[in-house]
Chain A
Amino acid sequence: MNNLTNNDFELITQLLDGELSSEQAAEVTKMIESSPEMQAEMDRLSEISNAIREDDEEFVPPKKAKDNVFLALGIPLAVSAPSLTSMSSEIANLISIGAAFTASLLTFTMFYSLNDVDSSNVASNSNVPIVSSYEKAKDNNIIIEDEPIALEVVEDLSNSTNNSPIISPSNSIANRTTGYNNSVNTSSSSANANNDLSLNNNTVAIERTNNVSDNSSIIENINENKTPNTIDKRDLVSAWEANIITSRKTGIQTNNSIFLEGNALTSNGLTYTRDYLTIIRTKATSNNLNSGQFDISFLTNYFATDVRGIISAGLSWYDQNSNPDLRSPVFVGGGIEYTPTFTSLLANGYFDSFINGQLFLGSNPSYKMEVGISTTLGGVTNFPIVIGYTRNYVRDYQFIRQELNDGLFIGTEISF
Chain B
Amino acid sequence: MGSKLDKYSDPELFELVQSQGKLADSAFSELYDRHSPRVFAYCRRFLGNKEEAQDVLQEAFIRLYKSSNSDREMTNVPAFILTIARNLCVNSQKKKKPLVSYEDYMFVRDNNNDDNELLDLIKMAMETLPEEYKEVFILREYEGLSYQDIADITETSLNNVKVRIYRAKQKIKDILEPYLVDLNKHEKDE
Contacts and interface: CB of A to CB of B under 8 A. Distances in A.
Interface of A: 6, 9-10, 13-14, 17, 19, 44-45, 47-49, 51-52, 54-55, 57-62, 65-66, 68-70, 72-73, 75-76, 79-80, 83, 85-86, 89, 287-288, 321, 323-328, 398-405
Contact of B173 (A44, A70, A85, A403): A44
A159 to B, nearest CB: 58
Interface string B70-86: 11111111011001100
A324 B76 contact: no
Contacts of A6: 166
A79 B70 CA distance: 22
Nearest to A76: B25
A55 B154 CA distance: 24
Nearest to A57: B111
A240 B26 CA distance: 66
Contacts, number: 167
Given A52-B142, A326-B87, A66 B122 contact: no
Contacts of B75: 399-401
Chain B at the A interface: mostly helix, strand, loop or mixed? helix
Contacts of B142: 52, 55
B147 A17 contact: yes
A48 B176 contact: yes
Contacts of A62: 54
B58 A68 contact: yes
B79 A86 contact: no
Contact of B66 (A52, A79, A323): A323
Contact of A325 (B29, B61, B87): B87
A45 B173 contact: yes
A321 B83 CA distance: 12
A401 B72 CA distance: 7
A84 to B, nearest CB: 9
A412 to B, nearest CB: 25
Nearest to B40: A61
A399 B40 contact: no
B73 A48 contact: no
B1 interface: yes
B80 A399 contact: yes
A325 B84 contact: yes
Contacts of A79: 1, 25-26, 28-29
B118 A59 contact: no
A10 B122 contact: no
Contacts of B6: none
B166 A13 contact: yes
A399 B63 contact: no
Contacts of A70: 29
A79 to B, nearest CB: 4
Given A44-B177, A51-B122, A65 B140 contact: no
B36 A66 contact: yes
Nearest to B176: A48
B69 A288 contact: yes
B189 interface: no
Closest A-B pairs by Cβ, 7 of them: A59-B41, A403-B72, A401-B73, A61-B40, A79-B25, A404-B71, A399-B76
Given A44-B177, A399-B83, A323 B63 contact: yes
Given A83-B24, A400-B74, 8 more contacts: A13-B166, A45-B173, A51-B119, A60-B37, A73-B65, A86-B20, A324-B63, A327-B83
A69 B62 contact: yes
Interface residues of B, number: 68
Contacts of B155: 326-328
Contacts of B28: 75, 79
B70 A323 contact: yes
Contact of A48 (B62, B166, B172): B172
Given A80-B26, A324-B64, A399-B74, A17 B20 contact: no
Contacts of B169: 13, 45, 48
Contacts of A47: 118, 180, 183
A32 to B, nearest CB: 16
Contacts of B180: 44, 47
B119 A405 contact: no
B57 interface: yes
B95 to A, nearest CB: 14
B165 interface: yes
A17 B63 contact: no
Given A66-B36, A325-B87, A19 B147 contact: yes
A323 B70 CA distance: 10
Given A76-B25, A399-B74, A52 B147 contact: no
Contacts of A288: 69-70
Given A66-B36, A398-B152, A52 B84 contact: no
B88 interface: yes
Interface in B148-182: 152, 154-155, 162-163, 165-166, 169-170, 172-173, 176-177, 180
Interface centre among B77, B172, B177 (most CB of A within 10 A): B172
A52 B83 contact: no
A290 to B, nearest CB: 9
Given A83-B25, A89-B20, A19 B162 contact: yes
A382 B44 CA distance: 50
B188 interface: no
A76 B29 CA distance: 11
